[in-house]
Structure formats: structure tokens, C-alpha cells
Structure 1
Amino acid sequence: MSTPAPLNSPAETTLWKGHTSQWVHFWYYLFCLILATAAIGGIPFTAGLSAIGLVVPFFMWIIRWWMTKCTSYELTTQRLRISTGILNKHLDELELFRVKDYSMTQPLFLRLMGLGNLTMITSDASTPTVEMKAIAGVEDVREKLRNVVQAERDRKRVRAMDLEDSDGGPIH
């Protein structure tokens, strides 16, 4: 049995779902391949014992791949949900009216892959900074985020205030 939403709360809809791309770990995966190559190259010199060394880069690769695959993002009209964890799941929700600022970066390598990073500065005590790394269509996600943050602030009648001290600098 579910509870009905308050009258002033519109239905929450999903605008975007995604996860971090495996390309963000390119150098880590390359290192695993170098380790595996070294283990294979050592087989003639170690009477086959170095083949056991293939287990280490294999498990390093699989664990990193699985950890990345098990991190997902869901942007709705009211919040950002971040789900992480392989065995133990953790769900973190960020109410969008708490987003104070956001920035998008696209390093050359990620840009070549059509990916980018989105960083948000929030007023949320548990997560003052939220980073979504190597996500596809980052420009579209940033624009959707911008629109829903403003809509949520308007709906909740929330405004951010920038405070300055007597010297004209920001108050921390």
C-alpha cells in the first residue's frame, strides 16, 4: 500500500539514467594487461609458475569493472539518485533544490569518447560535492539538470544566498 503524494507535489518522473563509463579506468585496465603479459612472458622462464600470476590482473580487472558497472545514476524531476555497491548496496539521494552550482568538464580523452564529468556543489550536509565521472551525453544531462534544479527551486520557493563579509569576500 503506497501513500499518496501531497497535493502540491507533482508526480516524479525519470529524466535520465546512466552510469560511469569503463573508459574512465583505461590506464588501470592497461596496467592489468601489462601484468598479464608479463605473467605470460615469464612462463618459459619459471616452468609455468608465472601462469598463476594471471589470476591477479584478471581479478583486478573484474572487480574494477564490476564496481563501475554497479554504480548507477538516476536523474528525476526532484532528485538525483546514486546507487553504489557490489554486495552491499548504498543509495544516496540528493534533492535537486539543494544544488548550488554545477560544472562540466570534458578532458580530451573523454571528449573523444563522447563522455564528460559533471560536478555539483550542494548544500547537502552528507554530500557537499557530487561527481558523476565519464558519463555519456554529459552536455544533455547538464542541461536537464539545470532546468530541473531551477524548477525545483521555484516549486519549493527556495533561493540560494551568497553572503559576503565586510571585506567583500565570501563567508565560509
Structure 2
Amino acid sequence: MEDVVDVFRSSTEKWLFGSFSGWLTLIVCFGGLALAAYFEIPWFLLLSLAGVLKIGHKWLTYMAAKYEITSQRLIVKRGIIFKNIDEVELYRVKDVKVEFSLLNQLLDIGKITLISSDRTSREGPIILPDVHQARDRREILRDLVQTERVRRGVREIDYEPDAL
């Protein structure tokens, strides 16, 4: 029986206030409003519209993705109209890393990257962007991977052919 350990989404709010691109988007939004008011030229409102569309796109993308960590799998559910569910068996995870900038650290967000031998990740690593409490979630994943490997009796062997 597998237990659900954690369910979460990427955070639009944390992206907005905890990343350079989020702050730049806010500056564009409010800058367009300020320029339109100061110069009395409504065309500057297009800048604000572009910023609002960027925030809306980010929000929709993040709301369409849901991550579930169980004792045996990471389940990634994506999509609103057309759903896509990817499952990664935790015993197949080779590496879990978290990346964050100085600004990300202040709001405790980060990008979690999983490298796995699972077929789900054949195209590349699985990336969970702008995750709140990313360091803690990485540690949870790391511990669950080790527990699942011990439970299944799985050992990882790295093979590198000799260089000629």
C-alpha cells in the first residue's frame, strides 16, 4: 500500500515576488500604467497588458500542473482540457537537485530537477519549477528514494566504458 506524502503545485505568487523575471513582469505592469498616466498616451497600456498576460499565462500553467509524492512514486499531472499523467517510480530516480537564486532563497522557492532511468524522463530531466519549500521537498524525495530502493532491494551501478 502506498501512502500520499505530499501534494503541491508551483507557486505563481512565489514566482512573482521571488524571481527576477517575476519582478521584471511587475515593473512592466506598473511601468506601463505610470507611463500612460504621465504622458497621457494610452499606447503605454499595452506594456501593462503584456505583463498581465505573462502573469496569467504563468498562473494557468502552474494551475494546470499538480505534483503528488507517494511513498513509491512521483506523479505529475498536467493539463486542463487534455490531461497528461506521468509517474516516476522513486527507486528509479538517480538524482534530485534543487536550484535557487538569492532572491529565491528569501521566499523559500526553488526549481527541483529529477534525473531518472524511468521512461518518463527519456526526453530529459523532470523539472518542477518555482516550488515552495523546495529544499524540504527535495529532502523528502531523497529519503523516499532511499527507502524505496532498500524495500525493493535495488542497487544502482554506474558503468563508464574505459577511454581509449
Alignment of 1:21-40 (within 5 A): 21-22=11-12, 23-25=14-16, 26=19, 27-28=21-22, 30-31=24-25, 33-34=27-28, 37-38=31-32
Q: What per-residue deviation string (whole Å, max 9, x for no partner) do you get for residues 2-40 of structure 1?
A: xxxxxxxxx111111111122335425633652564366
Amino acid at match of 1:61: I
Question: What CA distance in whole angstroms lies between the structure 1 residues aligned with 2:27 and 2:119?
Answer: 40
Structure 1 or 2: more helix by fraction: 2
More relative contact order, 1 or 2 (CA 8 Å, 6+ apart):
2
Amino acid at match of 2:3: T
Give the root-mean-square deviation of aligned CA atoms.
Answer: 2.6
Structure 2 gap ranges (5+): none
Structure 2 residue aligned with 1:93, among 87, 106, 115?
87
TM-aligned CA deviation for residue 83 of structure 1: 1.4
* Alignment match, 1:111: 105
Normalised to the residue count of structure 2, the TM-score between the two structures is: 0.78
Q: Is the partner of 2:159 in helix, strand or coil?
A: coil
Structure 2 residue aligned with 1:150, among 146, 150, 163?
146
Larger-gyration structure (1/2)? 1
Normalised to the residue count of structure 1, the TM-score between the two structures is: 0.74
Question: What CA distance in whole angstroms lies between the structure 2 residues aligned with 1:52 and 1:85?
Answer: 31
TM-aligned CA deviation for residue 121 of structure 1: 1.1
* Alignment match, 1:166: 162
TM-aligned CA deviation for residue 110 of structure 1: 0.8
* Alignment match, 1:16: 6
**Counterparts in 2 of 1:32 and 1:89: CA distance versus 1, 3 Å:** farther
**Counterparts in 2 of 1:20 and 1:167: CA distance versus 1, 3 Å:** same
Q: Number of aligned residue pairs: give it.
A: 156
Amino acid at match of 2:67: Y
TM-aligned CA deviation for residue 125 of structure 1: 2.4
TM-aligned CA deviation for residue 59 of structure 1: 3.2
The list of structure 1 runs, each at least 4 consecutive aligned residues, that deviate by more than 4 angstroms after superposition, is 43-46
Q: What per-residue deviation string (whole Å, max 9, x for no partner) do you get for residues 31-74 of structure 1?
A: 3652564366347655x5x3873554433322221211222211
Any conservation in 1 of the 2:112–2:128 contact (CA below 8 Å)?
yes
Q: Which moved more, 1:26-35 or 1:104-113?
A: 26-35
Structure 1 gap ranges (5+): 1-10
